[in-house]
Chain A
Amino acid sequence: MRLPPGVGQSDFAEALRRFEAAVGRQWVFTSDEDLDLYRDAYSPFWGEPEERLASAAVAPASVEEVQAVVRAANALKVPLYPISTGKNLGYGGSAPAMSGSVVLDLKRMNRVLEVDEKNASCVVEPGVSYFDLYRHIQDRGLKVWIDCPDPGWGSLIGNALDRGGGYTTAMFRNHFDAHCGMEVVLPDGELLRTGMGALPGARTWQQYKSGYGPWIDGLFSQSNFGVVTKMGFWLMPEPEAYLSGVVSVPRYDDLHAFVDTLNHLENAQVLTGMPYLGSPLLGPLDPGESLRATPPREVQALLATPGGPSPADIDRTAAALGRGVWAAKLQFYGPPKVVQAQWEASRERFAAIPGARFEDGELLRMPLTAEQQERVHKVAFGIPNLSIFFIGARSEGNPNPTDGHIWFSPIIPRTAEAVIEAQRVFGQAAKDLGLPMNPLQLPSTYWQRAFIYIFGFPITRDPAVNRRNREAFRTLVKIAADHGWGEYRTAPAYQDAILDTYSFNNHALRRFHETVKDAIDPNGILSPGRYGIWPRRFRGTRT
């Protein structure tokens, strides 16, 4: 049996006995067969000694059981690693940040506690997936939408705490920002409610976020300060209609006016949906379709230009193909008259760019028909799915798909200058590291005021390839940081490295995290190492 670091055999046996007393024997897992299920299928250390593995897992079904498990772990100094549904693939999965931790598996806590249609909000437990909440809403015919990430099998709470994103309007697609109130079990077993949940009798827990005094909710995201057992979210009232339109511009240098116009429209709330950016030279703009697309021969030749294509080369190819160089699919939600007016106002703004072209999209009225649901980009309509897993499927064009991926995702300024600089810097780095990099790839717009570049690193079952990719990933983290670009989220393998880059004033942020950690979790039992926050007891373990 694997032991948690710093825990003796007898203490661990006693902890397991207390866990069994708390949750029932059948919900404590120690066999290799069961613990294999908690391996991170996308671990960049797969099969190597550094792969993070659990020593046991325990699956409580209620807040009281969570408290009992946490108290037992605290008494015996056994590290716990809470997971919600454990499907955060690409950013960590269900394996602990520190090997030997006991996974606290919350997926049995799977109740949708409330959906308030009038307030457009819900309260859920950690084991509720996007699929679960969607079904709950559909079964009852409620007129609210959820906002989901690409894979719909994950937990609302888990994704929000990891600060994941979705695809509808800015206020909902930032999943942490869309939450309103949480309930947390602290490392000593104490139960805390944030916001208006701290006021007994308040009926505003999901109406007013910050309550009174310091607003501490952020402390429980990307951290290890507590086990979140309930969370409220604001939902999007089902809109009457959806309208999209595509705007494209003909020259590389148009990117400056293009981004400025886009930002103004979104910040002024004329543009209500998520803009999908891309180059028409590469194909469609919808995220799923763009990943499947193969560019025309002329564009492939352009991309193969030694040293990379110049802006003039790109402009010439675009003109020859009759396509724009840059484009955005704009999306609008609301009453038909409103979305049509918003599209018209957007067209007027973009028309200031000489040569801008426009393509009207279809006006869709809600609810969508089954046929419409089948052909739309589902997540833009709050419909959870798993299609993302089938984009890289084995096919004639892709005979050897990888075994997974891990995301490198730096935040950069939302300006054309930053995009061009990032393309140059990452393009050179990719060349040096032997990685693919498309000079026409534009960043994503999940977050309203910043761009995010997302690059996938393949995960294989070949340790030598994984080792090379790990080195490349770390190099990119450093290169990005040298330019002021920091990752928004990452898998445990890189959490220390990335927190190291947030180093202002001699790592004042990390030192603050550690001060908080040591104060509320003196025994260091909750998720040691998660997001680079190590308790005093394990601080020497930092990678």
Chain B
Amino acid sequence: MTSRREFVQGGDIRASAPAAFQRAVFDERFPAARAFAAEAQRRGWAVTAIRGDITELWRQELAKAWREGPVPVAGMTQDNALFCLERLAWDAGLRLTCRRREACDGLVSWMMLPPASRA
């Protein structure tokens, strides 16, 4: 089982991924997600908060970023945010490579990588 810290570091997937994570998404309503974001921020990633709905994240950041290329993203959100993000990520050529249920608040932690980065 990957720890949260390992997860934020990219865990075992990072070992085979040439593109390091630079971007993280978290649902700021929940303490576990805030802790995830704090760690990601400490590592210098661009961190974006959502409150359930991903519309603004998509319009203001990801749509543009993913038009330019399949930028890897990690996150800790609820299922429906991941559901939407995953479908948008597919169109950008990313795939969900890791998904883990957290213990509280219906949260799930996840990573999306371009296929070339996958082992």
Contact = CB atoms under 8 A, between A and B. Distances in A.
B52 interface: yes
Nearest to A89: B87
A394 B78 contact: yes
B15 interface: no
A390 B80 contact: yes
B84 A389 contact: yes
A87 B50 CA distance: 22
B84 A386 contact: yes
A89 to B, nearest CB: 9
B70 to A, nearest CB: 14
A385 B57 CA distance: 11
A534 interface: no
Contact of B78 (A41, A85, A153, A393): A393
B79 A394 contact: yes
A521 to B, nearest CB: 29
Interface residues of A, number: 20
Contact of A386 (B58, B79, B95, B105): B58
B54 A131 contact: no
Contacts of A153: 84, 87-88
B59 A389 contact: no
A135 B90 CA distance: 20
Contacts of A393: 52, 78, 80, 106
SS of B interface (majority): helix
Nearest to A33: B95
A389 B80 contact: yes
Contact of A390 (B53, B63, B87, B90): B53
A287 to B, nearest CB: 15
Interface string B67-101: 00000000000111101100110110001000000
Contacts of B106: 393-395
B59 A135 contact: yes
Contacts of B59: 131, 135
A385 B80 contact: no
B55 A37 contact: no
A336 interface: no
A335 interface: no
Contact of A385 (B55, B81, B87): B55
Contacts of A41: 83, 87
A294 interface: no
B80 A37 contact: no
B87 A401 contact: no
Contacts of B88: 153
A77 interface: no
Contact of A107 (B53, B55, B84, B91): B91
A438 interface: no
B53 A386 contact: yes
A9 interface: no
Nearest to A85: B91
B58 A131 contact: yes
A387 interface: yes
Nearest to B64: A135
A390 B77 CA distance: 12
A427 interface: no
A392 B83 contact: no
B90 A37 contact: yes
29 contacts: A33-B95, A37-B90, A41-B83, A85-B91, A87-B87, A107-B91, A131-B59, A131-B63, A135-B59, A135-B63, A152-B55, A153-B88, A385-B55, A386-B53, A386-B55, A386-B58, A386-B84, A389-B53, A389-B80, A389-B84, A390-B53, A393-B52, A393-B78, A393-B80, A393-B106, A394-B80, A395-B106, A401-B79, A401-B80
Closest CB pairs A-B (n = 3): A394-B106, A385-B55, A390-B52
Given A135-B59, A385-B53, A386-B55, 5 more contacts: A152-B55, A386-B84, A389-B84, A390-B53, A393-B106
Interface of A: 33, 37, 41, 85, 87, 107, 131, 135, 152-153, 385-387, 389-390, 392-395, 401
